[in-house]
Amino acid sequence: MINIKICGPGCASCTKTEEIVRQAVADSEVNAIIEKITDFADIAQLGVLSTPAVLINDRIKCVGKIPTQDEVNNWLKYM
């Protein structure tokens, strides 16, 4: 079971990021919990400076940009 956190206050890029991550999880059949972190305090606490950001098991995978579908697929493949 892996834990995926998506950080973002809810702007368009963050929503897009969430879509991509959910798609990747569905495709890979990985057992994952997806959390959405919208509170600025929580986002900062995780060490994220710019949004959108994706964390897998609390390790920052990408910050400040929307990851591509390929990138997310790859992260999940090597879990």
Judged by the rule CB under 8 A, the positions of this chain that interact with another protein are 7, 9, 11, 40-41, 43-45, 47-51, 59-64, 68, 70-71, 74
What is the C-alpha to C-alpha distance for residues 64 and 62, in angstroms, rounded to an integer?
A: 7
- 7 annotated active-site: no
**Shortest Cβ distance from residue 11 to another protein (Å)?**
5
Smallest separation (angstroms) from another protein to the CB of 55: 10
Taking the complex as a whole, how short is the minimal distance between the CB of residue 44 and another protein, in angstroms?
4
- 68 burial level (CB within 10 Å; 0-12, 13-18, 19+): exposed
Beta strands across the sheet bearing 53-56: 32-37, 2-7, 53-56, 59-63
62 part of the active site: no
Q: Which is nearer to another protein, 30 or 71 (CB)?
A: 71
Structural tokens at position 10: 């809810």
Return the amino acid letter for 38.
Answer: T
Catalytic residues: 11, 14
